[in-house]
Structure 1
Amino acid sequence: MRLPNFAFAAAAAAAAATLLPVSLAKTVQYDFSIDWVTANPDGAYERQIIGVNGQWPPPAIHVDKGDRLLVNVTNNLGNEPTSIHFHGLFQNGTNGMDGPVGVTQCAVPAGQNVVYNFTVDQPGTYWYHSHYSAQYPDGLRGAFIVHDPEDPYKDDYDDDLYLTVSDYYHKSAFWLLSNEFLTLANPTGAEPIPDAALLNDSQNIHFNVEPNKTYKIRIINIGAFVSQYVWFEGHDFDIIEVDGVYVERTTVSQIYITVAQRYTILLTTKNSTSQNFPISASFDTDMLDFIPDDLIWNSTGWLTYDENGDFPDPELVYEWDFYDDFDLVPIEKEEPFEPDYSISVTVFMQILDDGINYALFNNISYLAPNVPTLYSVLSSGNQSTDATIYGSNTNTYVLNHNEVIEIVVNSNDPGTHPFHLHGHNFQVIERSEASDDDDTFITYDSSNPGTINQYPMRRDTVYVRPNGYIVLRFRSDNPGVWFFHCHIEWHLEQGLALTLVEAPLQIQESQSIPDDFYAACKAGNYLYEGNAAGNTVNLLDLTGEKLQPKFLPAGFTTKGVVALVFSCVSAFLGMAFIVWYGSSELKSTEKEVAEFLHEPLDDISETK
């Protein structure tokens, strides 16, 4: 039976809300035809981008807490599979609806249809996006808003808005992956530089506001790479929620928001319409290996008090003054959990023997298995508790039910990494400062802990500072297969992820996969039973599994490998390039590599 059109469902929901003093749980239905559309959001470059129902940007999803949601997805891309992940939603009892390909489902091939069907039992600000390869930077992402009849701040605001911030690329993410990023010509792993910054997938947006009113504004970073600073000129504002967790009202002037994070704020307007004020967002340019001369890394909108008034340029900001989210206090307070089981991983980037720069947790660079890990759980009986069957490169940990799990991330990398946990939010127990010395790493020492707040902040995405560490804890109270990964899309494609198989026997007892998801596997010729390799007879036999390239022989240094690679693949640049390279510092070399990758091919002879 065909589902009703999403517009009809949304209208019906709106009508019901006007008639009932308290929102009752209902079914909300959306039809999503995933297809290619033409767009030019920054006004500088028209390209094909992934839209929904022939439109871009995709629509926001709105539900009330307690609603059942049906998203009827048909892949009409023609040339790419797809999936949808509902970022931040726990999917209690519906792990198969979580969306990451290779973790909880097969990719949905072109021409196939699946229905994501689950109950939304948590309030707050979320978003949805493709979780197939690096697809979502090509457009398939949007806001997901869960309205809460029991919002503790419901009497404190007059209107409810949302604001997305994002980086944007003129070239497709798949093209960038295969031609610029995961290539021999990029041995330092320099990330592709965005071409533009967007607000609400556009530029020069206007929020029409009235004097002496308070607006609830949900801010979501739906980008692929760069964290951003966000502020509203002339206005302080109050943080009231992060990543679906209500927090004590905290007044700030600016926030720092990584990709995948969400902040909800209350902003009270001035008592006069005499002036319009810029809304500003700015890239954290420290994350970029170099800044192209034509990159505009700021985006501007306006709090519009008077459409006929002037719209001033934003004032220059000479130093950042953002609030450290570590100090936020949840309304529902919990003291720091005591861990029953600890997972400790070290982040580092390394060239393997194919000459490509990979990201690793410990010594493992994640590769999706032949069979989605959840499907392996459901088809493996009592052997589901053996992490071996899930493959050598899924970095899988099997968790017991209802224990406190600690994840320690020590980052031996000079970048800022936002880490996201599916299926849970976590207490942020510790976060170290950064180390500016790339040869000195600040490593967690459980015998000598740092600052731990009495009531730790909770959220589902948090960043680790350069060469520093984070300590996270959560309860394993949601049986399922959950992904933990860096949400910089380039780093996920490099392999910076691990898998948590939580209470596998309970998963088998209480969960199943709908027929349309199995049909998608069959249509795409994807395996859906057995171990990571697809072996259904001997689950300990992993012959045919995906494996990362081997490590280079001992004695190869990163700089030496880079020089070797460039001497092989860039011989036409001449010995002058090699001489320059050998005398350079590694950090400046990364900058030069990034610049080299962005030179037009016609101009390559003019490259240093």
Structure 2
Amino acid sequence: MEIPILVLLSMLIACNSWLTVGARDQYQWTVQYAKTNPDGYFRTVIGIDDGTKWQFPGPVVRVAKGEWVTVLLHNGLPTEATSIHWHGQHQRETPWMDGVQQITQYPILPTKIFNYTFHADISGTHWYHSHTGGQYTDGLFGALIVDDPNDPYRDLPENIVFINEWYHQTVIDTFDIFTEYQPTGHFYNPLVDFVSGLFNGKGRYNCSLLTSFDNNTCIPDSPYERFVVEYNQTYRFRFISAGSQFTYILSVDQHNLTVVAIDGNYVQPHTTQQLVIEIGQRYDVLVHMNQPPDNYWIRAVTERTLNEFNAILQYSTASNNSEPKYSWNLTTGTILLDSKPLIPTNVNTFSLRPPNFTKTVFLNITCHEPVIDKCFVNEKQLRLPSIPTLLTMFQNQVAPYNTTNIFDLAYGDNVLVIINNFINGSHPMHLHGHDFYVLAAGPTSQTSIINFNMERDAGSFNYENPPRRDTISLPRQSWLAIGFVADNPGSWFFHCHIAFDMQAGMGIIFNVNNGTIVPPPFDFPLVSNIGQQTTLNPMKSMATKRCEYWMMVLSMCTLSCIVLNIRWP
């Protein structure tokens, strides 16, 4: 009997390939506190040390589509647990890597390590952020760019642009809902006053608003983020909203914005002068530098309170020391309010027309504010379980008795989700594990609640190549209709991305089951108790584990050949 040596060699080559991929895109990070002054005011910020320096926002992860990413995350926070969600990546066959505390994993406790390893299969502009409490409000976020080899705009110069409001206290002190114990009868405040805003971690706070200050408290005239450009060149801006409670209206003085992608999905170019961006959303925008070389304001205005913060677009021949002197009147300018006018360039071939929906989910959203810190979906507040829901799925068990708002979906279900908003405020809704089609939305209402009515509203659904994304605004006191294919086994969070609302319970869990959930990784935390939490081997990447498996197979095969006296050709 002879065994082709090429088969065994191919195992070794495959093993080497996996190890190479794992090494090429491997990062080792430590989450740490630092005292710094992003807008001039000094405070404690959570950032990431990548071995070379501490960074806020965190290091950019940039990989080619199809590559494996390995991030060995050490929690260096002495008093806080943490986790990282890779916003925009679907985690197919790696559902344990989604990074949601008590849904896909236990939190990473202080001093502990977790190895995030996943396949970067969704190209485009994405981001990562903590999904433990409101930590990303304190700075724990960064960009995740997955390069598409067929990207029509890949040769353009580009800038990654984070936009977020900024507070001078930690999230626990800013949003009272994150304080574990409050006096009986405490009135919670879901709407926190605007303090400051940042572009890529830089902004300018007016220190004179403080009662008193010195250079250890607040440094005046903190520098704006500047984007230096060349005249007559077109640039790609990857805008990412990392806010906690505000929707932003974006504009660049004297320049048009041409949207070419949303949440990693290409759309036909759409030109506007202003762009509304919700928390968690990403817009790829082209800007042609065709104005007289000078400095121009990039503006972000909070939609609810109309507070403005800025960065600077600087032509290369303009002064580094001067600030823009132009003021652009946009009262009559065009504005892109939502996804409705955007047309995907990759035609959606899946037919969403009824009766092709095999599952319809109706969600009614309410909040008891400000007296009680609770939000409800179908009159139930989301209560996270003591055991991650993905783990109970893997073990073929039911979720603990106090777990609420779990919706079971069969693998392959065509799902229609209708959401009614009974709150006088919009909500950025984000789905993990999938993109969805934006089928329709009701009109925003300031005065009365407009619920979805099947007879009246079903005719407004867009089934012809609707926009596709993973985060969308639920209009105030109105309704939203989305559809998606439940083709990714796992336990997936669907929630409002406003920090207060998410903590108050505005979310549900979609459990998509095909009968088998892939096993947890070797380094999966076994319990949530700090005194008991252990892992099998946090230093091993998924690529290394695959390699070890095939090396074991090869060794067993070789041993069998020796024992059975099988000849090698």
Q: Same fold (TM over 0.5)?
A: yes
User: Measured at CA, do residues 185 and 160 of structure 1 come closer, stay the same or move farther in structure 2, by a change above 3 Å?
Assistant: farther
TM-fit CA distance, 1:443: 1.1
Name stretches of at least 5 consecutive residues in structure 1 with no aligned partner: 1-23, 529-608
The correspondence for 2:47, drawn from 41, 44, 51, is: 51
The correspondence for 1:232, drawn from 252, 267, 278, is: 252
- Secondary structure of 1:516's counterpart equals coil
Q: Do 1:181 and 1:190's aligned partners in 2 also have CA atoms closer than 8 Å?
A: no
Q: Which structure has the highest helix share of the two?
A: 1
Q: Name the counterpart of 1:513.
A: 520
Q: Name the counterpart of 2:241.
A: 221
Q: Match of 2:157, as an amino acid?
A: D
Structure 2 CA distance for aligned equivalents of residues 174 and 225 of structure 1: 14
Higher relative contact order (CA 8 A, sep 6+): 2
Structure 2 CA distance for aligned equivalents of residues 408 and 26 of structure 1: 44
2:489 counterpart of 1:452: no
User: Measured at CA, do residues 177 and 59 of structure 1 come closer, stay the same or move farther in structure 2, by a change above 3 Å?
Assistant: same
User: Measured at CA, do residues 233 and 402 of structure 1 come closer, stay the same or move farther in structure 2, by a change above 3 Å?
Assistant: same
Instruction: With the length of structure 1 as denominator, give the TM-score of the two structures.
Output: 0.75
Q: Map 1:462-541 to 2 at 5 A.
A: 462-503=472-513, 505-507=515-517, 511-519=518-526, 521=528, 523=530, 525=532
User: Measured at CA, do residues 238 and 297 of structure 1 come closer, stay the same or move farther in structure 2, by a change above 3 Å?
Assistant: closer
Q: Name the counterpart of 1:250.
A: 270
Q: Match of 2:35, as an amino acid?
A: T
TM-fit CA distance, 1:193: 2.2
Q: Map 1:80-479 to 2 at 5 A.
A: 80-154=80-154, 157-178=155-176, 183=182, 187=187, 189-203=189-203, 204-270=224-290, 272-273=292-293, 275-285=294-304, 296-308=307-319, 310-313=322-325, 314-315=327-328, 317-318=330-331, 321-323=334-336, 324-334=338-348, 337=352, 338-350=356-368, 356-380=372-396, 383=397, 389-437=399-447, 440-448=448-456, 449-453=458-462, 454-479=464-489
Q: Do 1:432 and 1:450's aligned partners in 2 also have CA atoms closer than 8 Å?
A: no
Structure 2 CA distance for aligned equivalents of residues 215 and 425 of structure 1: 27
User: Measured at CA, do residues 373 and 504 of structure 1 come closer, stay the same or move farther in structure 2, by a change above 3 Å?
Assistant: farther
User: Measured at CA, do residues 187 and 148 of structure 1 come closer, stay the same or move farther in structure 2, by a change above 3 Å?
Assistant: same
TM-fit CA distance, 1:153: 3.2
Q: Match of 1:330, as an amino acid?
A: P
Of 139-148 and 82-91, the range deviating more from structure 2? 139-148
Aligned residues: 480
Structure 2 CA distance for aligned equivalents of residues 494 and 94 of structure 1: 28
Q: Map 1:18-97 to 2 at 5 A.
A: 27-43=24-40, 45-53=41-49, 54-97=54-97
TM-fit CA distance, 1:133: 1.1
Structure 2 CA distance for aligned equivalents of residues 527 and 27 of structure 1: 28
TM-fit CA distance, 1:57: 2.6
- Secondary structure of 1:501's counterpart equals strand
Q: Do 1:420 and 1:461's aligned partners in 2 also have CA atoms closer than 8 Å?
A: yes
Identity %: 29
Deviations 1:457-491, CA, capped at 9 Å, x for gaps: 01000001110110010001110100000000110
TM-fit CA distance, 1:526: 6.9
Structure 2 CA distance for aligned equivalents of residues 375 and 89 of structure 1: 20
Structure 2 CA distance for aligned equivalents of residues 113 and 263 of structure 1: 33
Q: Do 1:35 and 1:75's aligned partners in 2 also have CA atoms closer than 8 Å?
A: yes
TM-fit CA distance, 1:520: 6.5
User: Measured at CA, do residues 304 and 205 of structure 1 come closer, stay the same or move farther in structure 2, by a change above 3 Å?
Assistant: farther
Structure 1 CA distance for aligned equivalents of residues 150 and 188 of structure 2: 50
Q: Name the counterpart of 2:5.
A: none
Q: Match of 1:297, as an amino acid?
A: E
Structure 2 CA distance for aligned equivalents of residues 151 and 180 of structure 1: 41
- Secondary structure of 2:160's counterpart equals strand
Q: Do 2:32 and 2:47's aligned partners in 1 also have CA atoms closer than 8 Å?
A: yes
Structure 1 CA distance for aligned equivalents of residues 177 and 512 of structure 2: 37
Structure 2 CA distance for aligned equivalents of residues 73 and 200 of structure 1: 22
Q: Match of 1:311, as an amino acid?
A: E
- Secondary structure of 2:343's counterpart equals coil
User: Measured at CA, do residues 467 and 271 of structure 1 come closer, stay the same or move farther in structure 2, by a change above 3 Å?
Assistant: closer
Structure 2 CA distance for aligned equivalents of residues 165 and 122 of structure 1: 22
Q: Do 1:206 and 1:304's aligned partners in 2 also have CA atoms closer than 8 Å?
A: no
Q: Do 2:22 and 2:70's aligned partners in 1 also have CA atoms closer than 8 Å?
A: no
Q: Do 2:175 and 2:190's aligned partners in 1 also have CA atoms closer than 8 Å?
A: no
Q: Do 2:171 and 2:178's aligned partners in 1 also have CA atoms closer than 8 Å?
A: no
TM-fit CA distance, 1:321: 3.6
Q: Match of 2:278, as an amino acid?
A: T
Q: Do 1:410 and 1:468's aligned partners in 2 also have CA atoms closer than 8 Å?
A: yes
Q: Match of 1:227, as an amino acid?
A: T
Structure 1 CA distance for aligned equivalents of residues 264 and 177 of structure 2: 37
Structure 1 CA distance for aligned equivalents of residues 357 and 48 of structure 2: 43
Q: Match of 1:413, as an amino acid?
A: I
TM-fit CA distance, 1:27: 3.5
Q: Do 2:299 and 2:308's aligned partners in 1 also have CA atoms closer than 8 Å?
A: no
Of 246-255 and 412-421, the range deviating more from structure 2? 246-255
User: Measured at CA, do residues 305 and 86 of structure 1 come closer, stay the same or move farther in structure 2, by a change above 3 Å?
Assistant: same
TM-fit CA distance, 1:455: 1.3
Structure 1 CA distance for aligned equivalents of residues 383 and 98 of structure 2: 18
Q: Do 1:181 and 1:192's aligned partners in 2 also have CA atoms closer than 8 Å?
A: no
User: Measured at CA, do residues 498 and 279 of structure 1 come closer, stay the same or move farther in structure 2, by a change above 3 Å?
Assistant: same
Q: Match of 2:44, as an amino acid?
A: Q
Of 318-327 and 408-417, the range deviating more from structure 2? 318-327
Q: Match of 1:306, as an amino acid?
A: T
Q: Do 1:90 and 1:424's aligned partners in 2 also have CA atoms closer than 8 Å?
A: yes
TM-fit CA distance, 1:300: 3.3
Q: Do 2:177 and 2:188's aligned partners in 1 also have CA atoms closer than 8 Å?
A: no
Structure 2 CA distance for aligned equivalents of residues 452 and 374 of structure 1: 33
Q: Do 1:279 and 1:303's aligned partners in 2 also have CA atoms closer than 8 Å?
A: no
Q: Do 2:382 and 2:404's aligned partners in 1 also have CA atoms closer than 8 Å?
A: yes
- Secondary structure of 1:326's counterpart equals coil
Structure 1 CA distance for aligned equivalents of residues 333 and 441 of structure 2: 19
Structure 2 CA distance for aligned equivalents of residues 505 and 485 of structure 1: 25
User: Measured at CA, do residues 145 and 325 of structure 1 come closer, stay the same or move farther in structure 2, by a change above 3 Å?
Assistant: same
Deviations 1:511-558, CA, capped at 9 Å, x for gaps: 111222225646464799xxxxxxxxxxxxxxxxxxxxxxxxxxxxxx
